[in-house]
């Protein structure tokens, strides 16, 4: 599962890297090495605009909100419904799960990352268990997470209100193997450059063809290093700077070879 990642690239750099010449939403996000669910993240999408397709970089909520979500009171608890935070989507349920099947057919996306975090349980000098974070990253360049996006209309806002639409996204994960499986049973789907155009193409609505784009990927080796437990904290006051990915031992980076099932 991908529950935290690093995003240090600037919007113009992402536009150039992904050939995104559309205007997007113009939102500039600060670099963060501690991106957590429900925060805004850069997302690359391609949409029909009149008689042509437009590829653009947008800032979206990480945590997909299905278009059919209806706010209000939960009849079981009597409390206000919480906004869904579906930040990961299982690859094996994309074509069938109600939250995923619509976006999978028509709203596929790329979520760029500098790297991401996984955790192993360790013990301190006193024998107390703690979560040791590891930073997984490419030797160079960016990671292109396969993702989905959706647009949700706030029923409490007028149809002509520019803030009526909430754009949100999720990262697709699949079964992890080898060392990655020891850290977590799920790992993000990382698309190679040669599959990105087809993945983003809104004309591709065949779910089987889309699913083939996220399977059988021959991954380039990644690098992994132990980093500070400071990344374990999120929310107000949490660290978000590049010091979070500095190695905490002399071993530094070791090779991590993803082998998706």
DSSP string, 145-178: EEEEEEEEE-TTS-TT-TTSEEEEEEEEEEE--H
The pLDDT of residue 181 = 43
- Whole-angstrom distance between the N-terminal and C-terminal Cα of the chain? 15
Q: Are the C-beta atoms of residues 89 and 64 closer than 8 Å to each other?
A: yes
Q: What is the dihedral of CA 13, 15, 21, 26, to 10 degrees?
A: -90
Q: Give pLDDT tens digits for 81-92.
A: 888 889 999 999
Q: How many CA atoms are closer than 13 Å to the CA of 83, on its beta-carbon side?
A: 14
CA distances from 84 to 3, 38, 61, 64, 90 (A): 15, 9, 11, 7, 16
Nearest to 4 by CA among 45, 59, 63, 57: 63
Q: Give pLDDT tens digits for 174-204.
A: 976 544 445 557 889 999 999 999 999 999 9
The pLDDT of residue 180 = 47
Q: Give pLDDT tens digits for 89-113.
A: 999 999 999 999 999 999 999 999 9
The pLDDT of residue 176 = 67
The pLDDT of residue 261 = 53
Residues 6 or more apart from 94 whose CB is under 8 A from it? 100, 101, 104, 148, 172, 207, 210, 211
Element (H, E) at 101: helix 101-106
Output the CA torsion sign for 96, 97, 98, 103.
negative
The pLDDT of residue 84 = 87
**Which regions in the chain score pLDDT beneath 70?**
1, 176-184, 260-261
Nearest to 42 by CA among 87, 84, 10, 78: 10
Q: Are the C-beta atoms of residues 141 and 201 closer than 8 Å to each other?
A: no
Which tokens sit at 214?
């996220």
**pTM of structure:** 0.92
């Amino acid at each position: 599962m991908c529950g935290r990642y690093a995003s240090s690239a600037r919007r113009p750099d992402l536009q150039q890297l992904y050939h995104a010449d559309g205007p997007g939403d113009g939102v500039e996000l600060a670099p963060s090495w501690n991106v957590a669910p429900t925060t805004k993240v850069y997302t690359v999408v391609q949409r029909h605009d009149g008689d042509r397709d437009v590829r653009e970089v947008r800032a979206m909520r990480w945590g997909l909100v299905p278009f059919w979500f209806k706010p209000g009171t939960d009849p079981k608890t009597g409390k206000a419904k919480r906004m869904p935070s579906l930040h990961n989507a299982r690859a094996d349920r994309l074509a069938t799960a109600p939250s995923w099947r619509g976006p999978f057919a028509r709203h596929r996306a790329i979520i760029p990352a500098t790297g991401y975090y996984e955790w192993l349980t360790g013990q301190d000098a006193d024998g107390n268990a703690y979560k040791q974070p590891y930073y997984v990253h490419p030797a160079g360049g960016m990671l292109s997470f396969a993702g989905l996006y959706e647009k949700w209309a706030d029923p409490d806002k007028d149809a002509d209100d520019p803030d009526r639409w909430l754009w949100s996204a999720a990262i697709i994960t699949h079964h992890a193997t080898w060392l990655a499986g020891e850290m977590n049973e799920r790992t993000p789907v990382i698309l190679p450059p040669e599959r990105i155009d087809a993945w983003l193409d809104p004309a591709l609505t065949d779910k089987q063809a889309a699913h083939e784009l996220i399977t059988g990927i021959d991954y380039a080796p990644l690098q992994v290093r132990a980093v500070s437990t400071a990344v374990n904290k999120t929310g107000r006051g949490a660290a978000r700077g590049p010091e979070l990915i500095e190695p905490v031992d002399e071993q530094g980076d070791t090779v991590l070879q993803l082998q998706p099932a």
